[in-house]
Amino acid sequence: MRDYPPLISSFGRRRGRSLPAHKLKLAEELLPLIQIEMPQTQIQNLATVFASVAKSAESSIDPALWLCHPQDDTIYRAFHLEIGFGAGEHLAAMAAANPDIGYIGCDPFFNGVGNLLVMIEEQTLSNIRLFVDDVRLLLPFLPAQSIAHIDILFPDPWPKPRHHKRRLVNQELLSQLATLQPAGATLLLATDHVDYGAWMLEHVLAHADYDWSSQSHADWENPPDNWVQTRYQHKTTLQGRKPLFIKCVRH
């Protein structure tokens, strides 16, 4: 694995108010069953698992070994990744609607994880794995060409120019994501922030591995079919801000 320079933080905080008792209980009991854990020992195991699977099987991931939780022997037809799932409503809805897809959710914000755990418990969702940290720590350990779809929905916009370096979407991230996606795979970027939207588009258009093929306003003003609003989107829509959906294809 190559060495990465220290990461510039792209998120605001890891914790908010203390969690109510039920969410704390889920964090203690349910989270360990579905969590992709740091520290490095487990994540290195994960890399070893993927490396051996990649050598031995045609499909890029052996579901029985899926993200170090061998008790799950479901055969998934694809794997999707949501980066920065916030309170998790979009991730939970996607996982409920597509039980034959394995979902990896990444977000370091623990209170959002608490919300998502409640939905996972209530809907008995078994096709979600969580990485409760900066996604950029996980990406180097995922196998090449293994992720059919990636969502980055309403990432923190970091509007001040001196904070632009904290924006998650940049050339380096797109390059890392591109190695994880096979040709024809999709990446969805959404934002309600005009300047970040222009920034995202510039970065996608300048990137050799992704195409943005929108033909009309309708393409970028509307979400994909069967869309479930995120919490952040709901709030900003109430404030009159229009989201922009940048639908990219890996070529």
Taking the chain, what is the end-to-end CA distance rounded to the nearest angstrom?
A: 24
- Residue 184 C-beta: closest distance to ligand SAM, Å: 25
Per CB under 6 A, 103 contacts ligand SAM: no
Task: Quote the Cα angle for 72-86-13, to 5°.
Answer: 115
* Structure-block tokens of residue 37: 């854990």
Catalytic residue (choose from 156, 192, 209, 211): 156
Q: Give CA–CA dist 143/48, Å, rounded.
A: 10
Residues contacting 71, CB < 8 A, separation 6+: none
134 Ramachandran zone, left/alpha/beta (phi>0; psi -120 to 50): beta
Per CB under 6 A, 83 contacts ligand SAM: yes
Q: Is 134 a catalytic residue?
A: no
Total residues interacting with ligand SAM, rule: CB under 6 A: 24
* Comparison of 63 and 103: residue with beta carbon closer to ligand SAM: 103
**Number of H helices and number of E strands within the chain?**
10, 7
* Comparison of 53 and 139: residue with beta carbon closer to ligand SAM: 139
Site for ligand SAM in 182-241 (CB under 6 A): 230-233
Per CB under 6 A, 84 contacts ligand SAM: yes
Q: Tell me which of 47, 111, 126, 136 binds ligand SAM, using CB under 6 A.
A: 136
- Element spanning 249, H or E: strand 244-250
- Among 241, 238, 26, 8, CA closest to 112: 26
Neighbour tally for 123: CB within 10 Å: 12
Q: Tell me which of 67, 106, 139, 180 binds ligand SAM, using CB under 6 A.
A: 106
Q: Tell me which of 11, 110, 212, 227 binds ligand SAM, using CB under 6 A.
A: 11
Q: Given the rule CB under 6 A, which of 25-33, 93-101, 153-161, 177-185 is the region that contacts ligand SAM?
A: 153-161
User: Which residue has tokens 């939780």?
Assistant: 69
Q: Which positions touch ligand SAM (CB under 6 A)?
A: 10-11, 83-87, 106-109, 112, 134-136, 153-156, 168, 230-233
So which residues are the catalytic ones?
A: 156
